[in-house]
């Protein structure tokens, strides 16, 4: 019987918090993103390889899910309670949705990449750091 050496566990919640801050999930000090959404190939501080990440459309779906679940009830409450003019309500909620989406998207991308790193998905576990 062959024994397979299991790699040590990586703490999930600290990695997710580092990803939310858009920092390297390994060291927490190097920037994960270069530009708005482009993930660096390696961390500039600890040299962790970040190239195996496969975030794809996950951060966009999560952003839509969160923004929709926050803004839809708020839209309903504002409409029922104050009955603002449609153009005013549209303008306020359109700006709010865009601003919230732009805020959440890079942070959720960091969280998705950090989750993959912590769970050793897509080749993140091959170097056993």
- Report how far residue 105's alpha carbon sits from residue 48's, in angstroms, rounded to the nearest whole number: 23
- Min mean pLDDT across 4-18, 32-46, 57-71, 75-89 is at 4-18
Q: 49 in a domain, yes or no? A: yes
With 0.95 as the threshold, say if the pTM is over it. no
Q: Give the span between the Cα atoms of 97 and 12, in whole angstroms.
A: 29
Q: Domain limits at 77?
A: 12-118
The answer to whether residue 3 is domain-embedded is no
Assigned domain for 93 exists: yes
Q: Residue 2 falls within a domain, yes or no?
A: no
Indicate whether 5 belongs to any domain: no
Domain count, the chain: 1
Q: What is the pLDDT of residues 47-71, one digit of tens each?
A: 999 999 999 999 999 999 999 999 9
Tell me whether residue 127 is in a domain: no
Residues comprising the chain, all counted: 129
Say if 65 falls within a structural domain.
yes
Q: Does the residue 19 lie in any domain?
A: yes
User: What Å distances lie between residue 74 and 69, 84, 90, CA to CA?
Assistant: 9, 13, 12
3-state DSSP percent of the chain in helix, strand and coil, to 5: 50, 5, 40
Question: For residue 2, is pLDDT > 70?
Answer: no
For helices 58-82 and 86-118, what crossing angle results, to 10°? 150
């Amino acid at each position: 019987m062959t024994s397979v050496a299991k790699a040590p566990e990586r703490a999930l919640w600290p990695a997710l918090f580092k990803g939310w801050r858009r920092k390297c999930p390994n060291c927490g000090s190097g920037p994960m993103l270069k530009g708005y959404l482009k993930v660096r190939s390696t961390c500039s501080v600890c040299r962790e390889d970040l190239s195996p990440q496969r975030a794809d459309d996950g951060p966009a779906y999560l952003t839509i899910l969160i923004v929709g679940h926050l803004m839809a009830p708020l839209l309903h409450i504002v409409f029922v309670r104050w009955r603002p003019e449609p153009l005013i309500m549209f303008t306020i909620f359109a700006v709010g949705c865009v601003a919230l989406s732009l805020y959440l998207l890079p942070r959720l991308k960091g969280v998705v990449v950090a989750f993959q790193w912590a769970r050793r998905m897509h080749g993140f576990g091959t170097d056993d750091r």
